Chains A and B, each alone.
Chain A
């Protein structure tokens, strides 16, 4: 791995209010190329709001989120034009929703779901789009024979795989994942985690994974952030935080699960 000279993402003092309540108050961190960061905490801890603020899906009330663009260096994503932001979101970024229905077009075929980003970028050759889609279905371990079926006919695990393929087809450098494996059966969950792990490692993807499941963090993430009431209470290497938690809340979190 080559040494990078700049983080791919820099988050500085992000604050987001919902009414009078601060869902996120003053969170800062950096993410480096190829690094997977888990954001853990209970529901209501602000982890999803943090993810959406960073992914430019909601506008924070204060703070700055900068992304290392391919051509212009670090750029404040909230200061970009909508056109730039949307372009970023469908090229260099990916977003994997907890509920695949939100991340997929349920009434168009799996192939078109994967091919949509390519078409949006101007690919106009049906055969090429189709073969690229097929190769991504293979990479996420889906049966290529189902390329023309709609996700409405797929199981939860397959929908999630399809959503991942749909995001990765443009080779993004940063992927946001919101509870990517919750809501799936345990065995399906294990396989999907395994796939995510090999994809993030194999493609040197930087990723932010929001999860309430410490085992997911342990398996996928290099580093983690523990959130409580909108604040970052602890951060460090994943095994550091899980094996030697310092903050009372993290100790409680770690001790209340069975051996992550």
Chain B
């Protein structure tokens, strides 16, 4: 039996388009992306490149099913299932399962829960579903501590809810939270935007480690040095700009 996982892409995007229809502005249509096709294999880090407004974040949100595609397909190989999942057509339940076990997403902003401390925020993705037993909880906390140490979050903040943290600290909590699980596909939206050089380099190492264990990483890296350091492939998003008049 051959392992097909390195042969077939972890993610395939074909002819993907996204238009926003604003019903309350006279039904105006805002075309953002058109004809997006790309593949990401395990162990790859695909960097999305292009000026702001090129639809980089939109593409990540389409893959995460946060936005709904207007046309085209997004196929994801799910860890636990043999068949691919077609994200643009999957039902809510499949999408939730996909987010649980296959696709991790680091947004630019951390959405905090009011009274939960940083350590628990970071550990949470390991504990979804069911009442965690104490050993699982201890293991999740151990991993969370390790990540918080690497990302230089001072220990005195570990039990403080991140809502009060600085932008850079919140971003690092967000990163820790996303790297705590070994997602097969990892979507990173400007993970290093407000980080200093040391933390940028830690994030770069985390990305390398994720690739080494077989993750397919797709990211937006504003900082050219970080991009050069981590990317194995760069996609120029300007190719997918809708041409005027096209539908």
Residues of B within 8 A of A (CB): 20-24, 61, 65-68, 80, 92-93, 95-97, 100, 113-116, 128-131
Contact = CB atoms under 8 A, between A and B. Distances in A.
Q: Which one of A34, A240, A243 has the highest number of Cβ atoms from chain B below 10 Å of its Cβ?
A: A240
Given A194-B114, A240-B67, A252-B24, 10 more contacts: A1-B100, A3-B80, A191-B114, A194-B116, A201-B128, A204-B130, A237-B65, A237-B95, A246-B68, A255-B24
A219 interface: yes
Contacts of B68: 236, 240, 244, 246
Contacts of B116: 194
Nearest to B20: A244
Contacts of A244: 20, 61, 66-68
B93 A251 contact: no
B93 A35 contact: yes
B113 A240 contact: no
B23 A248 contact: yes
Given A194-B115, A243-B67, A34 B129 contact: yes
B11 to A, nearest CB: 19
A237 B113 contact: no
A76 to B, nearest CB: 22
B66 A239 contact: yes
B24 A251 contact: yes
A70 B97 CA distance: 24
Nearest to A204: B130
Contacts of B66: 237, 239-240, 243-244
A103 B23 CA distance: 41
Given A35-B93, A222-B96, A237-B65, A248 B24 contact: yes
A32 interface: yes
B131 A203 contact: yes
Interface in A214-260: 219, 222-223, 235-237, 239-240, 243-244, 246-248, 251-252, 255
A-B pairs, top 10 by smallest CB distance, nearest first, are A1-B129, A248-B23, A244-B67, A223-B92, A190-B114, A194-B115, A251-B23, A239-B66, A194-B114, A237-B92
Q: Which one of B92, B97, B116 has the highest number of Cβ atoms from chain A below 10 Å of its Cβ?
A: B92
A19 interface: no
